[in-house]
Copies of this chain bind each other. A is one copy, B any other.
Amino acid sequence: MALHPDRLLPIEESARAIARRLYDGVAGLPIVSPHGHTDPAWYADDPAFPDPAALFVKPDHYVTRMLHSQGVKLEALGIARRDGGPVEADPRAIWRLFAQNYFLFAGTPSRLWFEHSVETVFGISERLGPGNADALYDAISAALAKPQMRPRALYKRFGIEAIATTDSALDDLASHRAVRVSGWAGRVVPTYRPDAAVDPEAEGFAVNVRRLVEMTGNRLDWQGYLAAHRARRAYFKDLGATATDHGHPSARTENLPQTEAASLFERVAAGRGNGADAETFRAQMLTEMARMSIDDGLVMQIHPGSFRNHNPMLFSAFGKDMGADIPQRTDYVRALKPLLDAFGNDPRLTLILFTLDETAYSRELAPLAGHYPALMLGPAWWFFDSPEGMRRFREATTETAGFYNTVGFNDDTRAYLSIPARHDMARRVDCAWLARLVADHRLDEEEAHAIARDLAYGLAKKAYRL
């Protein structure tokens, strides 16, 4: 450090010059963040962030998984045990441990995000290490106490134009309502994420389904269940939602006759379904959600392919989202067919696909999105929201799907301070890709400027109807 102005741009001089010009045209554009996991309470209550460890270490599963892989105990990082067992309570001790192991992050996006944040937000341009851990801790701590470090002030400073959170279908969206009521100028919208009441293998599924129908005054049957979803979607939409999101183990969809779907619902809601029923039910619900999207206009997202909680020892000690979700091979061609047969040509539907299986980019996703009007490609996701990952995404998809079947960038993060860092990274990598196309004469620079703006800003607004 300090952050080099040409970081992530092409190495070759002439391409770098082109990329720099492209980047200069998009660096200052507002941030549209249509998919992410920040806490809506931040915008409602505008609290101070507690300490550097709570900000940069504990909640970031990219960070904790790397440390865990090298033998650091999650307890030592202050992550709460389900059994209430002892964990490190001193944030400074956690920070020191992070600093000692900071060298592990060389070559990873975590390091780039972190350094962008500490330099641009805290003005720190020293590299973290054991020698300066305390000094950096103190500097960050001191800054966090200041009013300009509160979420709403940062929202403005980051140039955010709109940001979506991800919310359970059962959520009352109290914070979202509070933001509305407050009159604050920021635009924070919820996203309808019904997995807990859609996936029969989710913890508490039966209870969640019962709550869902009860909170909407419906009966506990298939029609009541669908009506409940429609009601909740309308509630979310009233509070600004423009999209739904679905995190399934696979991309499988079904389009069963309604009588069959109804009896499947009965089985799974009563806890009498088996594993195949669970998969079929999730599959059916994707098609149902697409049908509802056509009616209410909510954009639909599918995030498939994660083997959740792969490490049972960690799951039982700490619960989910501990960095033990592992990508798996994901088929789209056959999996999506029932849904696409029904709605793939419908211009009212926007269905944004993500993947954890890069092999699908060129073989399946770009050909599908380059054909079906309803399909769009989400940006490089989880494990691939990185310079090399984003480069490979463009290299593998552009020639078949072009730029206009993609939807710009998602930061997909709960790490608030990393949002500008992530958007900046995406803008740089996209400009680097465009610069390559200009430098070897596949595009004119003038066109590339327009495309760069679309990738950084326009496509996300359009695709997500924001």
* A interface residues (Cβ-Cβ under 8 A, vs B): 3-4, 6-15, 65-66, 68-71, 103-109, 111-112, 127, 307, 310-314, 323-324, 326-329, 331, 333-334, 337, 340-341, 344-345, 347, 356-359, 362-364, 366-373, 375, 383-384, 386-389, 392, 395-396, 398-405, 436-437, 439-444, 447, 451
Copies of this protein chain in the complex: 3
Contact B7 A370 (CB under 8 A): no
A396 CB, nearest partner CB in chain B, Å = 8
Report Cα–Cα, A443/B112, bound state, in Å.
9
Across-interface contacts of A9 in B (CB, < 8 A): 440
Contact B329 A363 (CB under 8 A): yes
Contact B105 A402 (CB under 8 A): yes
Across-interface contacts of A4 in B (CB, < 8 A): 441
Contact A402 B327 (CB under 8 A): no
Report Cα–Cα, A326/B3, bound state, in Å.
43
Contact B399 A387 (CB under 8 A): yes
CB contact under 8 A between A326 and B368, given known A10-B440, A383-B400, A398-B108: yes
Report Cα–Cα, A106/B329, bound state, in Å.
30
Residue of chain B at shortest CB distance from A345: B313
Contact B107 A442 (CB under 8 A): yes
Contact B69 A405 (CB under 8 A): yes
A63 CB, nearest partner CB in chain B, Å = 11
Q: List 21 A-B contacts (CB under 8 A).
A: A9-B440, A11-B440, A69-B369, A69-B372, A70-B405, A103-B447, A104-B404, A107-B398, A108-B399, A310-B371, A323-B371, A324-B371, A326-B364, A326-B368, A327-B363, A359-B359, A362-B383, A366-B383, A367-B383, A388-B398, A392-B395
Report Cα–Cα, A399/B380, bound state, in Å.
13
Across-interface contacts of A451 in B (CB, < 8 A): 106
Given contacts A6-B440, A108-B400, A327-B367, 19 further A-B contacts (CB under 8 A): A6-B441, A66-B370, A69-B371, A69-B373, A106-B403, A107-B399, A107-B403, A112-B442, A311-B341, A312-B341, A313-B345, A327-B363, A327-B364, A328-B333, A358-B363, A359-B363, A362-B389, A388-B396, A388-B398
Kindly identify which residue among B105, B356, B371 contacts A311, using a CB–CB cutoff of 8 Å: B371
Across-interface contacts of A104 in B (CB, < 8 A): 402, 404
CB contact under 8 A between A314 and B345, given known A326-B364, A370-B65, A388-B399: yes
A108 CB, nearest partner CB in chain B, Å = 5
List the 3 closest A-B pairs by CB distance, nearest first: A7-B441, A4-B441, A386-B399
A461 CB, nearest partner CB in chain B, Å = 17
CB contact under 8 A between A69 and B362, given known A7-B441, A443-B107: no
- A10, A363, A375, A395 — most chain B CB neighbours (10 Å): A363
Across-interface contacts of A312 in B (CB, < 8 A): 341
Residue of chain B at shortest CB distance from A107: B398
Kindly identify which residue among B127, B324, B402 contacts A66, using a CB–CB cutoff of 8 Å: B402
A310 CB, nearest partner CB in chain B, Å = 7
Contact B71 A347 (CB under 8 A): yes
